[in-house]
């Protein structure tokens, strides 16, 4: 029973990532400037790493997993930066 509940939770989180990816692919974050997205993504990544280090050092062995909300936000920022990749790196020539 525990495995079935965990599998159901994993599938529901997976679909959330799929829907967020679709939202971003349709230009859902176009209102934000590229620099803002980059800074927010780096900040979220630093918070995730800090939280994981704090969890290891103080209370329990908790691994940041797909159900961690900051990870979803960080993934949103990375996907948006990848989507904008051509305009970001276009000034540096072809890569």
> What is the overall mean pLDDT for the chain?
80
Buried residues in 1-20 as b, exposed as e (16+ CB within 10 A): eeeeeeeeeeeebeeeeeeb
Structure confidence at residue 47 (pLDDT): 95
Q: Is the pLDDT of residue 88 over 80?
A: no
The model's pTM is: 0.73
Structure confidence by residue, pLDDT tens digits, 12-57:
778 888 898 899 989 888 899 988 999 999 999 999 999 888 888 8
Instruction: Please say whether the beta carbons of 45 and 74 come within 8 A.
Output: yes
Of the two residues 26 and 60, the one the predictor is more confident about is 26
Least confident of 21-25, 47-51, 72-76, 90-94: 90-94
Q: How far apart, in whole angstroms, are the C-alpha atoms of residue 17 and residue 76?
A: 9
Q: How far apart, in whole angstroms, are the C-alpha atoms of residue 70 and residue 54?
A: 15
């Amino acid at each position: 029973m525990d495995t079935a509940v965990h599998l159901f939770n994993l599938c529901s989180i997976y679909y959330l990532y799929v829907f967020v990816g679709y939202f971003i692919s349709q230009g859902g974050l176009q209102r934000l400037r590229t620099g803002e997205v980059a800074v927010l993504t780096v900040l979220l990544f630093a918070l995730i790493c800090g939280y994981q280090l704090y969890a290891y050092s103080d209370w329990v062995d908790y691994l940041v997993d797909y159900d961690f909300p900051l990870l979803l936000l960080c993934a949103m920022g990375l996907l948006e930066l990848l989507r904008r990749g051509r305009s970001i790196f276009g000034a540096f020539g072809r890569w």
